[in-house]
């Protein structure tokens, strides 16, 4: 495979594009609302009406507005140029109406507004191809300039130049902690070892977060390309994708993608006729939240119980089987091809001073437009929740936004004007986390929320260190006592003291951040705790 | 093969993997999986996934068999099997109902859905009805937050669930177990 062959595949694919493209969302949300039947009936009607030579019906990934699924987008060249329409809550009965509408006929299907802020305020980098390319066909990705970044890197850049580009881009880890990606790559590149590994962390365990699932279901090749570029930069020859078993569709599409890339020689040995070999294997998790922590994840890949170990040594020096290992999140890798293609400086020009680029957020909870969005860093929470998300349905008001899952916190409505980046969210007592945003309205009791997350951490504690194993249980019982109205002011003090202890003495991120939801709700919604206390004291 | 027949000494000295004496064809498939992974101990989780897929759950005999073939101490295999939530050491019901209790579903009333199923089937989360018709489980998050609250009935994800919808489905199953 060389550049000419790659371009030939792309051109052949583009030449096959028909004037009218009907794209059906085939990501998990729409699939469970019946998008397969929709696609089949659209194909059937196209065939029956004899339009097959100018209309193509294709499967694509997530279009973002999951709450209105199944979604169907139609690209049609009309008098005023290319027009795209989006149809919502489509059923198979709607197919004839949609096809009839291609010639200007009336369409009796709920039509979405592509000019609403939910779509217009987005800045797609990671989701660039999401909802546009067919995730199960490599040709479709290649036609969207796929694997060109890998070619450029392998043939025209030295590993040091790649690391330098990452550093200049200012990309930071999208898994939650926000560690500068360039620094991490440089450390692993410098580390000495007979073998090195690249791991993609797709163990997206935070409840309410589904960005990684969507990226893998919609554009799996992008992640593979990002991993291959990383492997070249640090001179690794083996990669692993650790993905949770709860995402069967994503696993399946990754397997297809790896097979296709191997067949075309874009993974395997002598990629693009360079001396670089790289192989990727999938490792499927078995339902343990703690395996999202990097040392626990590596233990799980080694076939052991997923318990973390103290750091240092960091995985960059001693990781998988003791070899230097680079671990990045799905979204981090998905940014890499774009950065190489468009340039590190272009990427660095987006976002805020310390947080560059964009971030994908999963909007869920009491919000009108639930789904997936990608916005530049520095967008305010108000813009995200009220403009893009459309606010709370049925005229309610948003009380707080929960970010960062069980390790994060609740941000109250008064702080909605904060621009979102790593530092600002940390200042508010929460974290960026992987990108889940759950909106809560007036009906949500904040003590309940804290108790919900504590129950989560209690169940998911691996049991290795005592502060986390025992502390979370005690905290959960205290929160239950408060919720049942049996607690006194002394219990509240004990709660705070114990939170502090668990935070500072736990071994890994799970325990250290388990008290965060309690801290933030105590800080912003103390009155709700006080209202729940027993009156006897 | 029960636990007593495992030759603990032979476990570490024999070089050829031992075949299961029951002649159950599913063991052949499991053997093939282990062979594909070259009996590497690192592949334990993959092998357990396959075993659970074939047998439905991991009984002690099966765990011993895997331990023996991968030359691992049974304690290590048992330790891994009990650590991960997805591995089940007890038989499951004919039907399964998984209520997602992720944050988005929680905010939209998953607790109420779960209570409804528990009341309807008279079992708690994580249990199976005495007649073996239904297993009730909870999931941390299915990532289907856009259609919250979500429930998985026999592997099919159903969004926008209400207590009425769930009751109808569960009662249908419990009345006619063969559906």
Tens digits of per-residue pLDDT, A84-117?
Answer: 999 999 999 999 999 998 887 888 899 999 999 9
Q: CB-based contact (8 Å) between B89 and chain A?
A: no
Task: Report the alpha-carbon distance of residue B155 to residue B162 in Å, rounded.
Answer: 18
Which chain B residues contact residue A305 at CB under 8 A? 79-80, 83
Reply yes or no on whether the pLDDT at B9 is more than 60.
Answer: no
The candidate with the shortest Cα–Cα distance to A197, out of A152, A230, A161, is A230
Whether omega before A70 lies within 30 degrees of 0, making that bond cis, reads yes
The backbone region for A303, taken as left when phi is positive above 0, alpha when psi lies in -120 to 50, beta otherwise, is left
Please answer yes or no on whether B45 and A283 come within 8 Å at the CB atom: yes
The mean per-residue pLDDT over the stretch A146-172 comes to: 96
The mean per-residue pLDDT over the stretch B53-59 comes to: 94
Q: Using 50, 70 and 90 to split pLDDT, how confident is the model at A537?
A: low
The mean per-residue pLDDT over the stretch A459-486 comes to: 95
Q: Using 50, 70 and 90 to split pLDDT, how confident is the model at A175?
A: confident
A133: which DSSP letter? S
Cβ(B105)–Cβ(B149) below 8 Å: yes
Top CATH class, A446-532: mainly alpha
Which chain B residues contact residue A460 at CB under 8 A? 140
Reply yes or no on whether the pLDDT at B45 is more than 50.
Answer: yes
pLDDT of amino acid B16: 55
Q: CB-based contact (8 Å) between B42 and chain A?
A: yes
Residue B171: both structure tokens together: 């009662």
Pairing status of strand A20-25 against strand A55-60? parallel
Provide the CA A406 distance to its chain's centre, in angstroms. 16
Q: CB-based contact (8 Å) between B154 and chain A?
A: no
Reply yes or no on whether the pLDDT at A150 is more than 50.
Answer: yes
pLDDT of amino acid A106: 84
Domain boundary assignment for chain B: 3-83, 95-175
Which chain B residues contact residue A452 at CB under 8 A? 103, 106
Indicate whether this complex's ipTM tops 0.95: no
The candidate with the shortest Cα–Cα distance to B70, out of B27, B31, B35, B41, is B41
Q: CB-based contact (8 Å) between A285 and chain B?
A: yes
Please answer yes or no on whether A33 and B139 come within 8 Å at the CB atom: no
Q: CB-based contact (8 Å) between B108 and chain A?
A: yes
Q: Which helix (H) or strand (E) holds A376?
A: strand A371-376
Q: Which residues pair with A77 in a beta bridge?
A: A82
The CATH classification number of B3-83 equals: 1.10.10
- Nearest CB among B41, B107, B143 relative to A213 is that of B143
Q: Using 50, 70 and 90 to split pLDDT, how confident is the model at A82?
A: confident
pLDDT of amino acid A69: 84
Q: What sign has the CA pseudo-torsion B136, B139, B144, B147? A: positive
pTM for the full model?
0.93
Domain boundary assignment for chain A: 18-115, 145-348, 358-441, 446-532
Q: Which helix (H) or strand (E) holds B176?
A: none
Please answer yes or no on whether A371 and B103 come within 8 Å at the CB atom: no
Measured CA angle at A223 (ends A9, A136), to 5 deg: 50
Reply yes or no on whether the pLDDT at B7 is more than 80.
Answer: no
Class of residue B13 by CB neighbours under 10 A (exposed 0-12, middle 13-18, buried 19+): exposed
Report CA-CA distances (Å) from A510 to A308, A313, A532. 10, 18, 27
Over residues A376-403, the pLDDT tens digits come to 999 999 999 999 999 999 888 999 999 9
Reply yes or no on whether the pLDDT at A462 is more than 70.
Answer: yes
The mean per-residue pLDDT over the stretch A291-307 comes to: 96
From chain A residues 43-72, the ones with a CB under 8 A of any chain B CB are 66-67, 69
Picking from A126-130, A145-149, A204-208, A369-373, which range would have the lowest pLDDT averaged per residue? A204-208
Reply yes or no on whether the pLDDT at A536 is more than 80.
Answer: no
Q: Using 50, 70 and 90 to split pLDDT, how confident is the model at B6?
A: very low
**Maximum CA extent, chain B:** 59
Pairing status of strand A279-284 against strand A409-412? unpaired
What secondary structure does DSSP assign to A251-263, as a single string? HHHHHHHHHHHHH
The mean per-residue pLDDT over the stretch A205-215 comes to: 92
Q: CB-based contact (8 Å) between A303 and chain B?
A: yes
Task: Report the alpha-carbon distance of residue A157 to residue A343 in Å, rounded.
Answer: 13
Task: Report the alpha-carbon distance of residue A100 to residue A39 in Å, rounded.
Answer: 16
Q: Which fold has domain A358-441?
A: Ubiquitin-like (UB roll) (3.10.20)
Cβ(B18)–Cβ(B81) below 8 Å: no
Which chain B residues contact residue A436 at CB under 8 A? 103, 145
From chain A residues 122-161, the ones with a CB under 8 A of any chain B CB are none
Q: Determine how many CB atoms are found less than 10 A away from the CB of residue A164.
A: 17
The candidate with the shortest Cα–Cα distance to B69, out of B103, B36, B104, B116, is B36
Q: Which fold has domain B95-175?
A: Glutaredoxin (3.40.30)
**Helix, strand, coil percent values for chain B (each to nearest 5):** 50, 10, 40
Which chain B residues contact residue A70 at CB under 8 A? none
Please answer yes or no on whether A362 and B145 come within 8 Å at the CB atom: yes
Mean pLDDT computed over every residue of chain A: 94
| Check whether domain A18-115 has CATH 2.60.120.920, yes or no | no
Which chain A residues contact residue B44 at CB under 8 A? 303-304
pLDDT of amino acid B18: 65
The CATH classification number of A145-348 equals: 3.40.50.11540
Please answer yes or no on whether A208 and B102 come within 8 Å at the CB atom: yes
Reply yes or no on whether the pLDDT at B14 is more than 70.
Answer: no
Task: Report the alpha-carbon distance of residue B70 to residue A227 in Å, rounded.
Answer: 31
Q: CB-based contact (8 Å) between B81 and chain A?
A: no
Work out how many CB contacts closer than 8 A connect A with B.
135
Query: pLDDT > 70: what percent of chain B?
Result: 88
């Amino acid at each position: 495979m060389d550049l000419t062959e790659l371009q030939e595949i792309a051109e052949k694919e583009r030449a096959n594009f028909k004037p009218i493209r009907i794209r059906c969302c085939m990501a998990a949300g729409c699939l469970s609302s019946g998008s397969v039947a929709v696609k089949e009936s659209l194909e059937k009607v196209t065939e029956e009406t004899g339009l097959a030579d100018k209309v193509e019906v294709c499967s694509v990934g997530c279009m973002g507005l999951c709450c209105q699924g199944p979604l169907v987008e139609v690209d049609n060249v009309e008098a005023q140029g290319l027009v795209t329409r989006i149809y919502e809550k489509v059923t198979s009965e709607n197919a004839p109406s949609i096809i009839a509408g291609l010639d200007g006929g009336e369409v009796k299907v709920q039509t979405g507004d592509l000019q609403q802020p939910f779509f217009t305020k987005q800045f797609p980098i990671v989701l660039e191809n999401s909802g546009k390319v067919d995730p199960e066909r490599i040709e479709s990705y290649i036609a969207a300039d796929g694997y060109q970044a890998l070619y450029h890197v392998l043939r025209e850049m030295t590993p040091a130049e790649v690391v330098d580009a990452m550093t200049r881009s200012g990309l930071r880890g999208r898994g939650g902690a926000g560690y500068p990606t360039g620094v991490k790559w440089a450390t692993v590149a410098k580390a000495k070892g007979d073998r090195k590994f690249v791991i993609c962390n797709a163990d997206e365990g935070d409840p309410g977060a589904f960005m990684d699932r969507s990226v893998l279901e919609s554009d799996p090749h992008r992640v593979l390309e990002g991993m291959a570029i990383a492997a070249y930069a640090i001179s690794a020859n083996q990669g692993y994708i650790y993905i949770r078993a709860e995402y069967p569709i994503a696993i399946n599409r990754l397997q297809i993608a790896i097979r296709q890339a191997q067949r075309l020689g874009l993974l395997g040995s002598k990629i693009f006729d360079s001396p670089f070999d790289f192989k990727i294997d999938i490792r499927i998790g078995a339902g343990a939240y703690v395996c999202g922590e990097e040392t626990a994840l590596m233990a799980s890949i080694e076939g052991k119980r997923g318990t973390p170990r103290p750091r240092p040594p960091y995985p960059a020096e001693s990781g998988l089987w003791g070899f230097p290992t680079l671990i990045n999140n799905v979204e981090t890798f998905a940014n890499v091809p774009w950065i190489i293609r468009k340039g590190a400086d272009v990427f660095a020009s987006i976002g805020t001073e310390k947080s560059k680029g964009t971030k994908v957020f999963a909007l869920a909870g009491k919000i009108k437009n639930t789904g997936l969005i990608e916005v530049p860093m520095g967008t305010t929470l108000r813009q995200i929740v009220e403009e893009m998300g459309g606010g709370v349905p049925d005229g309610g008001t948003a009380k707080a936004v929960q970010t960062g899952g069980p390790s994060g916190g609740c941000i109250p409505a008064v702080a909605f004007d904060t621009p979102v980046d790593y530092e600002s969210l940390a200042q508010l007592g929460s974290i960026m986390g992987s990108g889940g945003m759950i909106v809560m309205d007036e009906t949500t009791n904040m003590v309940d929320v804290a108790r919900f997350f504590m129950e989560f951490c209690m169940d998911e504690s691996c049991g290795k260190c005592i502060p986390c194993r025992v502390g979370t249980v005690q905290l959960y019982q205290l929160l239950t006592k408060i919720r049942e109205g049996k607690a006194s002011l002394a219990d509240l003090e004990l709660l705070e003291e114990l939170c502090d202890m668990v935070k500072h003495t736990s071994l890994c991120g799970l325990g250290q951040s388990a008290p965060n939801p309690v801290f933030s709700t105590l800080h912003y919604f103390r009155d709700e705790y006080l209202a729940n206390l027993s009156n006897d004291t | 093969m029960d636990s007593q027949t495992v030759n603990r000494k032979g476990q570490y000295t024999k070089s050829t993997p031992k075949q299961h004496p029951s002649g159950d064809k599913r063991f052949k498939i499991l053997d093939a999986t282990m062979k594909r992974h070259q009996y590497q101990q690192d592949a334990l989780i993959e092998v357990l996934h396959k075993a659970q897929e074939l047998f439905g759950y991991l009984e002690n005999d099966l765990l011993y068999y895997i331990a023996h073939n991968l030359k691992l101490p049974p304690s290590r295999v048992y330790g891994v099997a009990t650590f991960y939530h997805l591995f089940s050491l007890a038989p499951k019901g004919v039907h399964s109902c998984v209520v997602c209790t992720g944050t988005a579903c929680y905010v939209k009333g998953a607790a109420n859905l779960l209570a409804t199923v528990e009341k309807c089937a008279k079992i708690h989360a994580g249990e199976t009805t005495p007649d073996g018709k239904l297993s009730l489980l909870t999931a941390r998050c299915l990532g289907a937050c856009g259609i919250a609250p979500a429930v998985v009935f026999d592997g099919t994800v159903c969004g926008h669930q209400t207590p009425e919808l769930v009751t109808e489905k569960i009662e249908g199953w419990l009345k006619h177990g063969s559906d």
